[in-house]
Structure 1
């Protein structure tokens, strides 16, 4: 059943004097990608597909748009399950899926291989990128407003043809999706608390769209729709604050020419002050050493967020940290939470971040927690070996300092060429740095598999990452006080050396009588030995070792020794 009506539809060929009233761009732009994902709550492999969609949308915001269509056998609910299906979704399933396995999907309803547009999830990212490399023959612009007073959703669409389209007509479709719907999901691992995103709820147009009859270059068109937002669809609540409008234009039923989307502005919707944090797209993993934590802060209210306070706990020590900025109502933004944690970081670390206040008001927010290892140890001269894949244009490679400032940029490297490159970084001593690789399309360095390795100036391995997936990877390291550390390392308080004949590491304090604790780790972070006031540590195998010495005043010094 449809709950829409066409409020105003017009096709106009505009002279230059009338162009100013339009917001749609007249410049040739890259084509955006529409991902129509066929999914179901009883599909065990579908959560993996949902992750691909989430990463793709996060990496390519305003380039890729998604509609999750719950349809077919795997979406059929059991008696105690919600029904996320729609009549239109079932029609799309019957038209396109044709017995293909779930999960599956389409990118712009385009046939990339074979005879149908349906493809497996492993191809979504590459096909979306291929689409985005084309010029769009028609540009789209959309605004949407929801009025709580009468539950009316008003949508305004504009289009402009930058080139002729070889078709008698195009079809303009306006779809309504909803985010953050909790429900069951096979393979989700959280029972009925799985959070579904981009779920198709309804269409504001007929399923196959409204006709656009003049498809010649220089033509504008506008269409306006109103839609009465129901409280429920199939007994599943409709939350106006979670709605998104997706607009796309196609040649007949296939070959989407362009797509865009917008989250409606909500007027008169009373939403109390509330917020939520989520992890950054490159999560804290492996080693870590920034002077801040990166988060996404979601404003769930109709107030503008200007500040947020956090309790950041590292190894049992809690710090109150403040972020200040501006996040519009119902919007989500990337933020940095500054934290003075350098003195707290040990070899193995536990951390948690809890949202405790928003806009100066106490708030019992959610918590993100995890573990990480302290930075590895290198020399001021650090050597880098990296291998690219065939899509090097998607990647950035750089070194950042502890404040996140870029110190070195490497590349750009040649695409369509898997190649090994060797780079050098000349860095300051006694500083923490991050080697970072990112991927613009959230599919890592995997075609074929790339990697990076970091070495000190004695060619000792500092760190390596042989599997770079998703949005990328970071590896943190500190630079030693001396330019070369091999069999002898010194500071003002200690000298650390390797005695080959005795096969032991010797620690010599600069002055007697001072208490200190020693911990010895291999480069994998495994504790090999520890003790108080020890001066000799037996070594049973060749390799590199990290020696951490902590004095009575909690001053920590780190040394690296290579044995042979």
Structure 2
């Protein structure tokens, strides 16, 4: 698998000097509902407090599924529900201040609570800039986090796209409210947020987000609220509201090797063709940059880029490919030098190093477990051999959240490449994922929010490959299944045995454990009489191994 030494998740790390403690911005996460009677009583008081203290407190309003109808909940059920569950909110209205400072009915806090929290210094500053794309179809956000104290790795950056004010001509729910403020429309990139690296005092990072917005009443009311949170304690370390004015560039001349893509998770074919995204983090327009890369210390491949990038603007460069001898761990180093023909004011983001492992030698069949996200029509995939021939492919999916299991019978000793594509450009989000494995549950590649494309190579080489050391030769029969399905396999040593049945959406419908079993041939039977006709998956767990088989039930 590849590992980027400098985190490549669309940000760069910069250094500033003369740092001090940061003034805190308090965050209110308020849970409400358009058909909640008490909400109509307390929300105006909260909105008044927020309007009177914009320099002390900012807010995100989440709308719950109860007690009645609320279109703002319906616009994003998953992420509203996720934050509701995160704070164990069971009634509305409910206010949460800075994650763990207060959680309860809004009559339990006031401006004194805010002032007390406001007086506690924060370990960082956050600046947020938002804009709409030229066609106004995308909401774009840039976030700069500057550490004024050492910040440990593992903190979460959460960003909520909000609609600052929504006004209805008549109440959308049953409580009489017609005005709603700071309504959460989308968590970016999703409800789980982004895991931050360690940020030493005096350094800062720039994060970049985009959202093809939907269910927005007025795009001119879009803004963003961002916050850094300790997921273990739930404490919010700092928060900020976005502005439609860019924050100040940190340096005058600063070219950033932002991301390196078109890189396989593993390699066996010895050919690399990276795609490099550069960004101008400086105040001066970026007009030239010498870009080069090496693989395993070989001869550099160079490209003398020219253009005209303003602050935070980007360009994508498709580099010439290079052959290399595949090693156990392969080191790709990408460098940008001499921006505008001069020294870079900040050198840390000029080099990006990626370590890529040699592709595994696997046994056939290779299994793909694909869980589709909320946009299944955007996902497709294919498997190619070393000559570029397409051996397997999939796409044209229509069911959100569906779990698909595919198997690739690849018997020739060769180097194969699995490609997965996302037309939306954000990979598999909202719970979507893919995994590639063999011999039951040996996973050698996986991914979620990979962007436009992800890939992984694997080879079939029978020399030195061992069998599953728990069980072998799982067979399910009859095919198709009408009433009962039999699981037949050879247990190679004493092992715990468990099996289950799931449907294509991943819901577990049946599970049983048989405890410790002795070695030998085993046959277990599952009665499916109460199941509806359709496709299901049987999962056999033996020891630490897992094997999946697809079955079709007919009646």
Question: Fold-level match, TM-score > 0.5?
Answer: no
TM range (shorter): 0.3 to 0.5
Q: What TM-score does the superposition give when structure 2 sets the normalisation length?
A: 0.39
User: Rg bigger for which structure?
Assistant: 1
Q: What TM-score does the superposition give when structure 1 sets the normalisation length?
A: 0.39
